[in-house]
Structure 1
Amino acid sequence: MDNETIAAWRAAGERGDAAAAGRCLSPDVEMISPLTAAFRFRGPAQVTTVLTAAFEVIHDIRYHTVLGADDTWSLFYHGRAGTDALEEAQLLRLDGAGLIREITFFGRPLPALTQVMAGIGPRLLRRQGQPGLARLVGLATGPLNAMTHSGERTIMPRAKPRDR
């Protein structure tokens, strides 16, 4: 890997440093979330705010695979959301100046994603000065988070493939 922006992005992620990650962003950056198709985050300020909230929820990030060249890169890491193991893939597209102009996130498994959603949404809304909506989103995401964790602990072990 010899791209300075990608190296800086990776190092910022592993440190949980949203400000350093924000310095890798193009002025017209767009972030596509794995959690909603209802809207996208645009501009360095919005994306850095999301990253700040994300690094409060996601920790122990360690990139294990970086692929790409020129203006298109894919990065993969293992991390944790609370006590849940998380794996995320990132598709990054760079602008002519070599800064990140588009970020698309993909994550797994579902219990970790619901943990991320339950953690990031309320934090973002409080930062936007919407504490009432933050409480509502917290209440709305709580049952989904509880259901996915319960299913992972109680139902999914029963669905495990069996040797014949």
Structure 2
Amino acid sequence: MVSRWRLAGERGDAEAAAACLSQDVVLISPLTEQFRFHGRDQVRVLLEAAFAAVSGIHFHTQVSQDSTCALFYRGSIGTRQLEEAQLLRLDETGHIRELTLFIRSLPALTALMSALGPELARRRGNRPLAALLAVSTAPLHAMTRLGDRGIVPLAAPDR
């Protein structure tokens, strides 16, 4: 099942990825502690939005032990490179029952947040919330981009 999950991710195929999930899957987002995505349908909608935002997914590392697997991939969101770690906990049939995501770098994470929040609200038919999310995430993303390009390099070890 994990190999099917990887292939679906690299192809950006949300339906094939959702088929790897248990019906009662829980997705723990890197973006918030306020809620989780519960069930195959909620996670599929998130995957559709994520695959629309993230391109060039290529898994490069897999570590497994018993019913737990850690996967790592690189991709991009716009011109920004990102790397994601996925902690998968599998059920007795091999389907993913819990998926915890971790993303680096901070500018890539805020770019993803700026894309996903409004898109998920639009998919639910809530255009006012989509607009609010777009406006409220833009300053954080702008600050992280500015800091990453202009301020953080000043602290580089070779300076």
Q: TM-score, with normalisation over the residues of structure 1?
A: 0.95
User: In structure 2, the residue corresponding to 1:75 is in which secondary structure?
Assistant: strand
Deviation at 1:157, TM superposition (A): 1.3
- Matched to 1:115, the amino acid is A
Distance 2:120 2:70 in 1: 26
- The structure 2 residue matched to 1:52, chosen from 25, 48, 54, is 48
Which residue number corresponds to residue 104 of structure 2?
108
Deviation at 1:69, TM superposition (A): 3.3
SS class of match (2:92): coil
1:158 aligns with 2:125: no
Q: Structure 2 length normalisation: TM-score? A: 0.98
How big is the shift at 1:147? 0.6
User: Which structure 2 segments of 5+ residues have no match?
Assistant: none
The 4+ residue runs of structure 1 with deviation greater than 3 A are none
Give the counterpart of 1:39 among 9, 18, 35: 35
Deviation at 1:33, TM superposition (A): 0.1
Identity %: 54
Gaps (5+ residues) in structure 1?
none
1:162, distance to aligned residue in structure 2 (A): 2.5
1:67 to 63, 68, 91: 63
Query: Size of the alignment, in residue pairs?
Result: 159
| One of 80, 85, 105 as aligned partner of 2:81 | 85
Other structure's SS at 1:112 match: helix
**Structure 1 residue 159: Cα displacement:** 1.1
Write the distance in 2 (CA, Å) between the matches of 1:70 and 1:6: 13
Aligned residue in 2 for 1:131: 127
Task: Compute the displacement of 1:70 (Å).
Answer: 2.8
**RMSD (Å) for aligned C-alpha atoms:** 0.8
Between the aligned partners of 1:121 and 1:69, the Cα distance in structure 2 is: 33
Q: Structure 1 CA distance, aligned partners of 2:6 and 2:112?
A: 19
Q: Distance in 1 between matches of 2:151 and 2:157?
A: 13
1:129-160 superposed Cα distances (whole Å, 9 cap, x missing partner): 11100100000000111110011111011111
Q: Residue deviations 1:95-149, cap 9 Å, x none?
A: 1111000000001000000000000011101111111001000000001111100
The equivalent of 1:118 in structure 2 is: 114
Name the CA distance, whole Å, in 2 between partners of 1:76 and 1:18: 18
Q: Compute the displacement of 1:24 (Å).
A: 0.3
Match of 1:141 in 2: 137
